[in-house]
Structure 1
Amino acid sequence: MPVTVATLLGSASLELTLHTPDARVDRAVSWVHVSELADPTPFLEGGELLLTTGLALTPEGTGEYVRRLAAAGVVGLGLGTGLSHAAVPAELVAAADEHGLAVLEVPRQTPFIALSRTVSSALAAEEYAAVTRTSTVQRELTRAAVAPGAPGTVVDRLARHLGGWALLVDAAGTPLEAAPPAARGRAGGLTAAVDRLRTARPPAGAALTQPGETVLLQSLGTGSRVRGFLAVGRPGPFSAGDRHVVNAAALLLTLRLEQSRALDSGTAALRAAILQLLLAGQTAAAGPVVAALGERLPGEPVQALAVLGTAEQRAAAVDVAADAAAHVREPVLSAELDDALLVLVSADGPLAGRLAVLPERVPGAVLGTAAPVPWDRLADGVRQARQAAGHGRAAGAPVTAFADLAGRGLAALLDRDATAAFAEAALAPLVAADRAGPGDLVESLRTWLAAHGQWEPAAARLGVHRHTLRKRIGRAGELLGRDLDSPGVRAELWLALHPPTQ
């Protein structure tokens, strides 16, 4: 228990007398300070018991002296009598009553050092007790972290120690454990704070002060990857000891989550092998292996999703996919394939739709989705998903569906620089001839191709006779060394004349 003015009054050896019975005496004393200054407040922090013999006290200045002490947060004023003052001045008591400041009479036989020792010993005992309590709780949390049922047990012990609530959410913000269970409802109100903290390198923390409650939020993880978040709340502020307990719980939960990550790494090769079996059409052989992992294959039709990004981003995407699957109670298979993460889900369930927002949860990752396919056509679906993701990355689009590639046109699928180089080389003979002559070959070829090789419409658009156009196109064919009646050659020249601009 903290030492208070009442604690000192209860010590018979100090022989203190309270002259302001209406003043509060239950406020904690942070320290004892002795000063004979007329204004000692610049040297105070609040919470002190100020001791003085009253050398600077004057009848006319007493009111202002007490007002300043009360404004500075002094919890009590001890006046040593028998030196400057034979008794406590009445004007001091009146001013103290007005401002609610406790005034104690310290008799001549009680040295100020006795009060300092009493408060110092009490503070030391309180600090030792807090350290002991913190150490005890940390040991309990450690035992809970290695026991079956963790991390739920850790969250429960933490909430009970703090006399509040505790909530553990995954990297996507979905509640994993809560104590009491009603604390799950707190997740929605923490979304904005979690999103802000997600951008910081873990571990990072934030304190949210609300009316009648303080909430501490900490990210869990190592390196640049956030594994989850721990939120705890309780009425009033957190003591230093309680903050240490929260930090210890966050560390233990991080270790627990990282252990599961190590287990995930150990099964990554197995998952990749399962994917290879499925791509080879060996669905019957892959099924028992998946069952041995305690999982199920997604139901047909299957939708393949490809995630491109750094190793950390792909690892975070595995967590997001697993959390989303657990939320909707659907099977999911995630496995690495070369430089991409493949996520296989059932096309008929809600999981595919939930994963469409994966790049929002894993900033920087790119997602490509394929059309639903049966298991025996999985290789087609995986190819489509990877192609969609690749084109999305090139275009700066976080999510791209394979079906959308056709709607963008052929030019959108081509590399701009490579196509521009091809066009420059393919049309170079015509450009050179136009510079040296009338300058009508390139435009004539473009107009003729746009008219599907029909002479009359093309000649009319150019404002020339069809024989003139025939002569120009014949000349273009000679310079290019290509057969302009070939559909393939016409397609190449059309592309050269209309390169992508973005």
Structure 2
Amino acid sequence: MALSLGSLAAAEGLPVLAGSGGLGRVIGWVHPTELVDPTAFLDGGELLLTTGLAFELEAAAPTTADDSASTLAAAADSASALAAVGEPASASGAAGDLSPASGTADDLASALGKAGDPSSTSGAAGDPAAATGAAGDSGSASGAAGGPSSATGAVGGLSSARGVAGGPGVAASAAYEAYVERLAQAGVAGIGFGSGVIHDQVPPGLVAAAEAAGLPLLEVPHEVPFIAITKAVSAAVAADEYATVVRTGRGQQELTRAAVGRGGPGAVVRRLSRLVDGWVLLLDSGTPVEGVPGTGTPVEAFPASARTHAAALDVSGLRGTRGTRLASGDEVVLHSLDSRTVLAVGREVELDAAEQFIVNTAASLLSLALQRNREQSGVLGQLRSGLFDLLLADEDLAVATIRRLWPAMPEPPWRIAVVVGSGAARRAFAEALGEAFCVVRDSDVVVVAPEVEAVEALVRRLGLHGGISSAGGNPAAVGGSGSSASSAAVASPRSSARSAAAGSAAAAGSAEAAGSAGAAGSASGGGERAVGAATALRQAVRVAQAARAQHQPWLGFDEYTGSGLLALLPKESGALFADAVLSPLSGDLVEALRCWIEEHGHYDAAATRLNIHRHTLRKRLRKVEELTGRSLASPGTRAEFWVALAIAGR
């Protein structure tokens, strides 16, 4: 794990002088420097180590042209100045006794002349005392001539020089504030100040400036060498990098096992979610979320609640990788896997380097898995299509073959579902079905033996319309309210002969009962029978089309036919038919016709209900025939009148 400032301070015994709120910052590296402005050499995240030498040199620099002693000190390199004062004999030789002080004064005069003050130059040249005054020291000529104490003062050894840099003066405080501000803007993790080298203690001005900026300031005592801190941070960085390598290696192995397993892209999505401790979406940008253009419909999601983020992710025109931040605060990384598929990974905090590498690995594996799935899906699609055609032509052979290739298929009889809608939504539906037996056709998707609840939920989520054949077990009645035309289950091979026999018996019973609708139901035998795949397919196609026309997402054949014959008629067409048949008739004629049909053509019973004479009823019915041009003696005409009356009464 990376080393934080707080951990380093505790391990090395470094006092924290300022910015304790930032001790959780991770140290990226250690950078010792004595520059006043080292920002050009920083990347951010460093612990900057300094002894404060830069402040001493800055304090010794001249501030005006009249400060002759400061001008000389700034002109000389700090190391040379220290060397010059390190040997008293050399200093005496350079200065001599007081008699050659005028020579030193000449030098000072020359320096002052360069500073632009001719009058001062002449004065200094002729008067050693003036030279001594120009030096600005304690009044000693030897100080002006370069004596040890004076030289030391020139480079910051005297208390006067120290006062300029580290004292409570306004200039010193401004210098520290500017220094700290530069480092904070450069993004350094903190400052480590080495005490006991140049400064006996950390300058109070620096402590105040660091605290004001919230930048951690650690004191590095003289007994703790900078190299010890560098080694500690270097070891922590190396350990962290090794842990990252190990973590990414394990993540790669887990993702690879998931990719080559039977779970496909879904398994990779689930594994990736656990590895990065976040949510993961696989989006189809070709099918946007309903009402939200530029988004993508979730194909895979983990956890399931991640689907709610799909509407907030703009994946339009994505190529490569892009980061975004949701209104919820989650940080999201988007990866384009192919021309239409997008991987989205999100969580509350940004991914670290290892997690980003793991996500990149998952994106590569998913791209390969999607390509492999497309190739396999093409072959499987052709196989399913051929077997479905065989199912319509030869059920015995088709059922046996399908059961061998799809052992998870249930025992026949099978129901059939048909799904209609936009092409993109139908493709997404077929892909989401996985290993289910489905056939993608030009205008619909056919599913054999579907898991009804799962298919219905998927149809609703993708905005499609679906219909499913009868569940079977309904009487095969010709008439009667609520009867089904036939069972819609696909017959098993063993039931084929029995189904054919039952169909023949039903047909014979219907012929015998043609004169009475009430007898038709009993004549059919009321038995159960399974029908062929072709019949089940016709049922499913019919109810799928009805579901789309009625703007319903899902409709079953039993539900569709259970409300009677009138439910099968389009409302608009039925209303037009009823109006055409009944519009020539007045209200009393319509009521007479309705009552007569309901009483099965019995004049006396109908006349009694209407409270009129039976001859009056006959007269009204003849008027109906005259106005409509239809004969009530025809069963077909009576049926048409009944349908028209039923529609008008809805």
1:76 to 187, 190, 197: 190
Q: How does 1:121-270 map to 2 (within 5 A)?
A: 144=256, 148-149=260-261, 164=276, 190-197=303-310, 237-239=350-352, 242-243=355-356, 245-247=358-360, 249-270=362-383
Instruction: Say if 2:617 is the partner of 1:469.
Output: yes
The 8 Å contact of residues 171 and 319 in structure 1, kept in 2 or not, is answered as no
Match of 1:27 in 2: 25
Q: Structure 2 residue aligned with 1:423, among 578, 587, 611?
A: 578
Counterpart residue number, 2:118:
none
Q: Residues 91-102 of structure 1: matches in 2 within 5 Å?
A: 92-93=206-207, 101-102=216-217
The residue number in structure 1 matching 2:427 is 315
Provide the C-alpha distance between the structure 2 equivalents of 1:447 and 1:165, rounded to a whole number of angstroms: 74
Secondary structure of residue in 2 paired with 1:419: helix
Amino acid at match of 1:101: P
Give yes or no for the alignment of 1:359 onto 2:459.
Answer: yes
Instruction: State the SS of the aligned residue for 1:396.
Output: coil
Q: Which residue of 1 aligns with 2:98?
A: none
Figure out how many residues of one structure are paired with residues of the other and give that number.
Answer: 423
In the alignment, structure 1 segments of 5+ residues that lack a partner are: 10-17, 37-45, 106-117, 173-186, 324-331
Deviation at 1:152, TM superposition (A): 7.4
Query: Which one-letter code corresponds to 1:367 in the other structure?
Result: G
Query: Do structure 1's residue 487 and structure 2's residue 635 form an aligned pair?
Result: yes
Q: Deviations over 1:345-401 (max 9, x none)?
A: 28xxxx445434332443324232322432342222222222232222222222222
Partner of 2:418 in structure 1? 306
Deviation at 1:474, TM superposition (A): 0.7
Q: Deviations over 1:314-343 (max 9, x none)?
A: 3333334336xxxxxxxx422245633222
Any conservation in 2 of the 1:20–1:97 contact (CA below 8 Å)? Answer: no
1:417 to partner: Cα distance: 1.8
Once the two structures are TM-superposed, the CA of residue 283 in structure 1 deviates from its matched residue by 2.6
Q: Which has the larger radius of gyration?
A: 2
TM-score (norm 1): 0.60
Q: Does 1:90 align with 2:90?
A: no
Of 456, 464, 470, the match for 1:370: 470
> Does structure 1 conserve the Cα–Cα contact (< 8 Å) formed by 2:465 and 2:552?
no
Q: Any idea what the Cα deviations from partners look like across 1:208-251, whole Å, max 9, x if unmatched? A: 9999xx8968798767778xx77687x96413674365155235
Question: Any idea what the Cα deviations from partners look like across 1:392-431, whole Å, max 9, x if unmatched?
Answer: 2222222222111232232222112222222333334x15
Counterpart of 1:343 in structure 2 is 447
Q: Decide whether the 8 Å contact of 1:27 with 1:75 is kept in 2.
A: yes
Aligned mates of 1:279, 1:336 — CA distance in 2: 16
- Distance in 2, matches of 1:396 and 1:153, equals 33
Q: CA RMSD in A?
A: 6.2
- Which one is further off, 270-279 or 387-396? 387-396
Q: Aligned in 2, Cα 1:231/1:452: closer, same or farther, shift over 3 Å?
A: farther
The answer to whether the 8 Å contact 1:159/1:166 transfers is: no
Q: Deviations over 1:83-131 (max 9, x none)?
A: xx998543653685796731679xxxxxxxxxxxx9xxx9xx99xx99x
- Which one of the candidate residues 375, 389, 395 is aligned to 2:550? 395
Residue aligned with 1:484, SS:
coil
8 A contact 1:198–1:219 mirrored in 2: no
The answer to which of 404-413 and 49-58 deviates more is: 49-58
Q: Following TM superposition, by how much is the alpha carbon of 1:189 offset from its aligned partner in structure 2, in angstroms?
A: 7.9
User: In the alignment, residue 466 of structure 2 is paired with which amino acid?
Assistant: V
Change (3 A) 1:162 1:262: same
Where does residue 396 of structure 2 map in the other structure? 283
- Render the CA deviation track for 1:415-452: whole Å, top value 9, x for unaligned: 12222222333334x15xx5xxxx64344434444454
Percent identical pairs in the alignment equals 29
* Residues 302, 345 of structure 1: 8 Å contact kept: yes
Distance 1:161 1:483, change over 3 A: closer
- Aligned equivalents of 2:167, 2:573: Cα separation in 1: 90
| Distance in structure 2 (CA, Å) of the matches to 1:261 and 1:453 | 66
2:503 matched residue in structure 1: none
Cα-to-partner distance string for 1:158-214 (whole Å, 9 max, x where unaligned): 979996568989899xxxxxxxxxxxxxx9982222244279686899889999xx8
Going from structure 1 to structure 2, the CA distance change for 1:189 and 1:501 (only over 3 Å counts) comes to farther
Task: Determine which structure has the larger strand proportion and give its number.
Answer: 1
Aligned to 2:223: none
Q: Tell me by how many angstroms 1:479 deviates.
A: 2.1
**Which range moved further: 416-425 or 462-471?**
462-471
Distance 2:634 2:167 in 1: 111
Change (3 A) 1:319 1:104: same
Q: CA deviation digits over 1:460-482, x for unaligned, max 9?
A: 56554433332222111122221
Change (3 A) 1:417 1:315: same
**1:20 and 1:96 in contact (8 A); partners too:** no
Q: CA contact under 8 A between 1:416 and 1:500: conserved in structure 2?
A: no
Partners of 1:336 and 1:157 lie apart in 2 by 26
Shift in alpha-carbon separation, 1:223–1:74, aligned structure 2, 3 A: closer
Give 1:278 shift. Answer: 1.2
1:271 aligns with 2:384: yes
> Residue 394 of structure 2: SS of its match in structure 1?
coil
**1:394 partner amino acid:** A
The TM-score with structure 2 as length reference comes to 0.48
SS of equivalent residue, structure 1 residue 499 = helix
